[in-house]
Amino acid sequence: MKNPTFTNDHIYHIYNRGVEKRDVFMDEKDYFRFVHDLYEFNDEAPAANIFYKLPNFQSYEVGLRKIGRKEKKPRKCLVNILVFCLMTNHFHMLLQQKQDNGIATFMQKLGTGYTNYFNKKYERVGPLFQGKFKAALVEQESHFIHLPYYIHANPLAIIKTKEHGKRDLSQNAAQFLESYRWSSYPDYIEKKNFPSVTQREFLLQFFNGTVQYKKDMMAWVQESDAQDLQDVILD
């Protein structure tokens, strides 16, 4: 599928997975690194080499180098990162382009930077992701309404009942999603996780605030049976 032409202020569903469906996040440090890169590379200025070449560097909202720290020069973001979710072998994002070629530039920096880090750390060569990232323009309101829920629901693929191998959506979904760190969902319900990475004001206004978003998210999950989620979650 050919990616659309990216237009400023339009919103796109961006996703990709590891080449041959391989894992692209092997441990917690890898997840932290990718989240840090989401912040660091969302800037028209080049990233400081020291922070994306060190293979063992971790990024936290508080830590060695704070995401959202005071900058000598304010960032000029290429995109608004509305939503993100990282899974073992793939990722999803909802991006709004802010500058001409913003999405293409951001994704090139992100893909190259993280692949260089990963290959150096694990002593491998070659592409890490399955070709160029995939993108779909969000044109219909019905898609726009459901995409944040869909992206934030991806971690439910991890929850399975021991007896039947199906996700236990009824009892554990809310607690699990709130505690899943590699997603923007906690920040959407005011559980501070990586708040500086995403720009949430637009969606929270659309969904009538954090309390309503959480309520509607859980309603969406409960209304979606296991087969429905199997059909929409990228494996």
What count of residues does the chain have? 235
Report pLDDT digits (tens) over 14-61: 999 999 999 999 999 999 999 999 999 999 988 765 444 444 555 444
Chain-wide mean pLDDT for the chain?
84
Report pLDDT digits (tens) over 192-211: 999 999 999 999 999 999 99
pLDDT for 172 equals 81
Residue where the block lists tokens 């859980």? 218
pLDDT for 67 equals 56
List Cβ<8 Å contacts ≥24 apart for 215-224.
Answer: 216/149, 217/149, 217/152, 217/153, 217/177, 217/185, 218/173, 218/174, 220/146, 220/149, 220/153, 221/149, 221/153, 221/156, 221/169, 221/173, 221/177, 222/169, 222/170, 222/173, 224/153, 224/169
pLDDT for 97 equals 97
More confident residue, 206 or 69: 206
Report pLDDT digits (tens) over 79-125: 999 999 999 999 999 999 999 999 999 999 999 999 999 999 999 99
Domain parsing of the chain, residue ranges: 11-84+98-136, 140-232
* Mean pLDDT, residues 186-190: 96
pLDDT for 225 equals 56
Angle at which helices 141-153 and 209-223 pack, to 10 degrees? 80
Burial class (CB in 10 A: 0-12, 13-18, 19+), 54: middle
CA 235 – CA 17 distance, rounded (Å) = 9
For residue 10, how many C-alpha atoms fall within 13 Å in the half-sphere facing its CB? 17
